[in-house]
Structure 1
Amino acid sequence: MARRIVSLKDISKACGVSIATVSKALNDHSDISKETKERVREIADKLGYHPNAAAQALKTNRSNNIGVLFVDEANSGLTHDYFSHVLDSFKKKAEQEGFDITFINGDRSRTNKMSYLSHAIYRGFDGVVIACVEFSDPEVDELIKSNIPVVTIDHTFYNRIAIVSDNIKGIRDLVTYIYEQGHRKIAYVHGLENTAVTQSRLTSFYNTLQDLGVPVRDEYMVSSPYRNTEKAFEATTKLLELPDPPTCIMYSDDFAAFGGINAIRQKGLRIPEDISVAGYDGIELARRISPLMTTIVQDTDRIGRVAASKLIDLINNPKGTLIEQIVVEGTLEKGESVANINPV
């Protein structure tokens, strides 16, 4: 049996006061006594009254709903190891602050679909977090330039709050550790170069090796899509078949590294005895396999939590919230997949 919705009229009848008095008491009007407010609220709770969200939105011009723009080109959706944890943390913090979250439809194959901005306006979102998307998309640009409060993750726009991983320090820490283990022939199966994340990591990779006095060999630099094990497998096979193969291969992310590991083992090679590997992100599976993967563990909990907190601050206080870029550091997990090849 469907549960009956409790109305203001029901509360009015139970309290013996007018509907107007009930409304004023529930909305904390100053012309209603404290005793009446407490009595009305107590009876409303006992009856199981819940204010209508649509009516509240009309009255306050707020929906208490945040839009999430998440369009993963690999179509991994919420199985995406990194962003699923970021968004879970975001969701928990938003819900603690009384907000719901709704995903903005990013299915590009739909006909007559609304733009991201149109969808946000249609749903009445108080704000939007952009967590994974093609940032050069004109629809994203339209949303960014609108009056809707927006916070981005892992990409920076002018005059918008951004929460970004410290990719510069992460790669520097990882490359420095590999160097300290004696490796000088270091290959990098990196992500596609048209993203801010990849550009930051590539710049850090080149600069770190340059500072360490290690030449970067062109044949050791291979582009491959993020989280694509098949492409990582192919890239690794080519690296292993070079006349002078690397002693260590870095991958764009831990998931892609699994494809590289498969290629290495198919060649009959051992990790790390014959060749070393390193990933990035610190996903749960990478910290459970053997050998334990050397990687950078990203602080997904803090990234999501801070993104939600800053967006809600912006919603509540649009003129008084500082527009800033917040950088969140990761942690080096030394693991067991990079061998120490320094001479004894």
Structure 2
Amino acid sequence: MVNIRDIAKKAGVSPSTVSRALNDDSKISEETRKKIKEIAKRLKYKPNQAARALITRETKTIGFLILKKEKPLVADPFYSIILYSVQNELHEMGYHLLYGIIPHGKLNPKKPPRMIQEERVDGLILAGPDMPKEFIETIKKTGIPLILVDNYSEDIDSILADNIRGAYIATKYLIDLGHKNIAFASGPLDHISVYERWEGYKKALAEANLEYNPNYMVEEKELTMKTGKHAFQILWKNDPKPTAILSANDPMALGVIQCAKDMGIRVPEELSVIGIDDIDISSQFDPPLTTVKIFKEEMGSIAAKRLIDRIKNPNQPPVKIIVSTELIIRSSTAPLKK
């Protein structure tokens, strides 16, 4: 196995110079650093991370935490994509990923996660709008570099989709198709992403001089196909019935469509449906779902880059990064029949 002494011999410098160059010590000239790194790469040198951690107190490992969802994380159509993107970005930057799932009922909001207590990570990404604020504050007090994804705190770096605009352009599209009785199948409004989507929906109605009807909004406790079906059953009792439904996410929208079809209601001939997320199954559903694309890969990549920057430059003010959204028109929407 190649070691620092081998590189030092080839470069004609001391082992300590090699060590400092590989750690980007600015006291070593850029020319020397470049030369040493090229030799290390040519010799296929791999640093001993355990020894490095003892010296630098760095683990070169980033934590990723999420609360347990309806499905295993690997099968989650939203957060699995973010996780995969985070992992790819960290790999490019020479970091490892340690991810954990906190089961419902097992979270102690006053106690930092074990990976922090045991100093196994250099920084942490918390994913999801359902992460308790008290738990976030507990982690923040440890001083570990921290990023929120799909969540927001004014004093913590936060990566979010442009949820307001996403719901706005979806609702405006339905209005442009001639729909006026537009309902919103909502998830829990204490989730910032859901709340912002509700705001975007109402904003589009107001701009079109359409009155917001609270009977056309159903708030469910979860964002699933099952709750989408339940929301539709309630919304369809209205008189007049909605001619279009915007759902807080794609699974709820697919539940709306499935329930409508089970009741003999044709989509989009009698009911237009739009989701938000653009998960993979949405394009394969019958009919394929019109939706708002959330750029999940970009959110994961930005989160990873921002966290490493935060680790290296800790005295920065917190930032809120909003990732744009895009309307994807498919076959679940149609102009209102006169």
Same-fold call, TM cutoff 0.5: yes
1:271 equivalent among 267, 271, 288? 267
Alpha-carbon displacement from aligned partner over 1:127-176 (angstroms, at most 9, x marks no partner): 11111263334222201233111111122212211111101111110110
Give, as a single letter, the amino acid of the residue that structure 2 aligns with 1:257.
A
Match of 2:175 among 176, 179, 182: 179
Q: C-alpha deviations, 1:257-288, integer Å up to 9, x for none?
A: 22111111111121101111111111121123
Match of 2:231 among 235, 249, 253: 235
Which of these residues, 303, 307, 311, is aligned with residue 311 of structure 1? 307
Aligned to 2:154: 158
CA distance in 2, matches of 1:108, 1:116: 16
Structure 1 position 40, deviation (Å): 12
CA distance in 2: counterparts of 1:40 and 1:206, whole angstroms: 56
Check whether the contact 1:74–1:227 (CA below 8 A) recurs between aligned residues.
no
SS at match of 2:154: coil
Higher Rg: 1
Question: Residues 239 and 53 (structure 1 numbering): CA distance in 2 closer, same or farther, change over 3 Å?
Answer: same
Amino acid of the residue matched to residue 220 of structure 1? Y
State whether structure 2 residue 289 is matched by structure 1 residue 280: no
* Alpha carbons of structure 1 residues 53 and 80: separation in structure 2 relative to 1, 3 Å: same
Partners of 2:40 and 2:203 in 1: how far apart?
67
Q: CA RMSD in A?
A: 3.3
Q: Is the 8 A contact 2:163 2:193 kept in 1?
A: yes
Q: Which of 130, 134, 140 pairs up with 1:138?
A: 134
Given the superposition, is the C-alpha separation of residues 342 and 271 from structure 1 closer, same or farther in structure 2, using an over 3 Å criterion? closer
The within-5 A match list for 1:93-172 is: 93-108=89-104, 115-132=111-128, 134-172=130-168
The SS at the match of 1:152 is strand
Instruction: Report the Cα distance in structure 2 between the residues aligned to 1:169 and 1:304, rounded to whole angstroms.
Output: 20
Are positions 1:207 and 2:203 aligned together?
yes
Q: Which runs of 5+ in 2 are unaligned?
A: none
Distance 1:58 1:181, change over 3 A: same
Give the 3-state SS of the residue equivalent to 1:280 in structure 2: strand
The CA distance in 2 between the partners of 1:89 and 1:43, in whole Å, is 28
Question: Which of 328, 333, 338 lines up with 1:338 in the alignment?
Answer: 333
| Corresponding residue of 2:86 | 90
Amino acid at match of 1:270: R
How far the C-alpha of 1:204 sits from its partner, in A, is 2.0
Deviation of 1:97 after TM superposition, in Å, equals: 0.7
TM-score by length of 2: 0.85
- Cα displacement string for residues 102-149 of structure 1 (whole angstroms, at most 9, x for unaligned residues): 013513556999933443241431111111263334222201233111
Going from structure 1 to structure 2, the CA distance change for 1:298 and 1:38 (only over 3 Å counts) comes to closer
- Greater shift in the superposed pair: 71-80 or 52-61: 71-80
1:325 maps to amino acid: K
SS for the counterpart of 2:276 is: coil
Q: Distance in 1 between matches of 2:309 and 2:175?
A: 43
**1:188/1:304 CA distance change after superposition, 3 Å:** same
Percent identity between matched residues is: 24
AA of the residue aligned to 2:120 = G
Check conservation: 2:129, 2:191, Cα contact below 8 A: no
Q: In structure 1, what is the equivalent of residue 319 of structure 2?
A: 324
Is there any run of 5+ residues in structure 1 with no aligned partner, and where? none
Structure-to-structure mapping, 1:225-264, within 5 angstroms = 225-264=221-260
| C-alpha distance 49-289 of structure 1, shift in aligned 2 (>3 A) | same
1:272–1:338 CA contact under 8 A, matched in 2: yes
How far is 1:27 from its partner? 4.7
Cα 1:159–1:137 shift into 2, 3 Å:
closer
Distance in 2 (CA, whole Å) between partners of 1:322 and 1:114 is: 25
Return the letter of the residue paired with 2:61: N
Does the residue aligned with 1:187 lie in a helix, a strand or coil? strand
Structure 1 SS opposite 2:118: helix
Equivalent residues of 1:94, 1:100 under 8 A apart: yes
Cα deviation, residue 41, structure 1: 9.3
- Looking at structure 2, the residues matched to 272 and 41 of structure 1 have their Cα atoms a distance apart, in angstroms, of 60
SS at match of 1:188: strand
Evaluate the alpha carbon distance shift between residue 58 and residue 183 of structure 1 in structure 2; reply closer, same or farther with a 3 A threshold. Answer: same
How much does 1:336 deviate? 1.9
Q: Are the structure 2 counterparts of residues 226 and 295 from structure 1 closer, same or farther at C-alpha, using a change threshold of 3 Å?
A: farther
Stretch of structure 1 that moved more, 72-81 or 126-135: 72-81
AA partner of residue 254 (structure 1): D
